[in-house]
């Protein structure tokens, strides 16, 4: 099971729209970006990650930095997604106007919040997004094309990470326009009174099973973050189809640890 979101801007040849496709399936590599470097974003995009998430909830990135990173990613085959800091419609609109092809929204707890997020991504009459995309519409060169197509060509991923969200899981999944339900185990542990540093917990595993069941029934993709190849294989075999692998700073830190460990080993006699 996978969800596909097609992006059309401009034309290739005779009346044939160009397209970029996000296939949310377990075979595609993805990564979270928190280091504020357009060059690093471009490097990782060229490395082969199908999509990159620019993290703005837990980072100090401002709108200008996000836009520069989007510019770097837009020049590659990788799909840029912004993890916005909240459900605030202004944050969502700003990310989309800057060129994001999808958003990931944290701390969604209720059906009403999920509906509001979807509305914030759509132009009227389907939503409440204000019009002035600029960069997203190629600085007015593709304004008409963007306006008519974008309502149906954006990825909306909601991060479920609270007890209340779990209680409303099935109803949230049924909200039209939601493409992905992404589980946030660390914050979910905190919400349930569990120690996130001592995972796995049986309670979290129960939520995982419920999420996968609901997503299978509704056709919404199930997402989760992993930190190593073993976790990747486990989550993929469970049925998760939007799996993010690592973060830019974690990859850099791991490379540093490996190199430093080699320096610190005693030379062979």
**What pLDDT score does 249 carry?**
86
Active-site annotation holds for 46: no
Residue 15: per-residue pLDDT: 35
The answer to whether 97 touches 75, Cβ cutoff 8 Å, is: no
Above 60 in pLDDT, residue 2?
A: no
Q: Say which range, 15-29, 31-45, 80-94, has the weakest mean pLDDT.
A: 15-29
Q: What band does 8 get if pLDDT is binned at 50, 70 and 90?
A: very low
- Give pTM, 2 decimals: 0.86
CA distances to 3, 89, 112, 181 from 161, in Å: 22, 20, 16, 10
**CATH class name, domain 24-264:** alpha beta
Per-residue pLDDT of 161-173, as tens digits, reads: 999 999 999 999 9
Catalytic residue among 8, 58, 68, 138: 58
Compute CA distances 210 → 70, 129, 222, whole Å.
Answer: 34, 32, 11
pLDDT tens, residue by residue, 62-104: 999 999 999 999 989 999 999 999 999 999 999 999 999 999 9
Indicate the Cα dihedral angle 150, 244, 3, 120, nearest 10°. -30
How does pLDDT run across 183-192, given as a tens digit for each residue? 999 999 999 9
Residue 12 has pLDDT above 60, yes or no: no
Whether 107 shows a pLDDT value over 70: the answer reads: yes
């Amino acid at each position: 099971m996978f969800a596909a979101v097609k992006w059309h801007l401009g034309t290739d040849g005779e009346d044939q729209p160009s397209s970029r496709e996000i296939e949310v399936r377990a075979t595609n590599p993805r990564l979270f970006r928190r280091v504020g470097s357009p060059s690093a974003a471009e490097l990782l995009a060229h490395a082969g990650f199908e999509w990159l998430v620019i993290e703005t909830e837990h980072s100090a990135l401002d709108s200008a930095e996000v836009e520069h990173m989007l510019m770097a990613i837009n020049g590659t085959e990788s799909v840029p997604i912004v993890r916005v800091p909240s459900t605030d419609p202004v944050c969502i609109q700003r990310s989309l106007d800057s060129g994001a092809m999808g958003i990931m929204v944290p701390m969604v707890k209720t059906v009403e919040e999920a509906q509001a997020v979807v509305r914030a991504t759509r132009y009227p009459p389907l939503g409440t997004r204000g019009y002035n995309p600029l960069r997203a519409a190629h600085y007015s060169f593709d304004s008409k094309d963007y306006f008519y197509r974008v309502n149906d060509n954006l990825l909306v991923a909601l991060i479920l990470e609270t007890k209340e969200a779990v209680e409303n899981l099935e109803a949230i999944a049924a909200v039209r326009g939601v493409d992905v339900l992404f589980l946030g185990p660390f914050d979910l542990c905190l919400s349930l009174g569990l120690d996130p540093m001592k995972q796995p917990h049986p309670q979290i595993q129960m939520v995982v099973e419920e999420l996968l069941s609901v997503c299978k029934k509704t056709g919404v993709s199930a997402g989760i973050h992993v930190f190593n190849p073993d976790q990747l294989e486990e989550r993929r075999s469970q049925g998760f189809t939007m799996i993010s692998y690592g973060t830019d700073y974690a990859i850099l830190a791991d490379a540093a640890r490996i190199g430093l460990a080699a320096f610190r080993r005693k030379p062979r006699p």
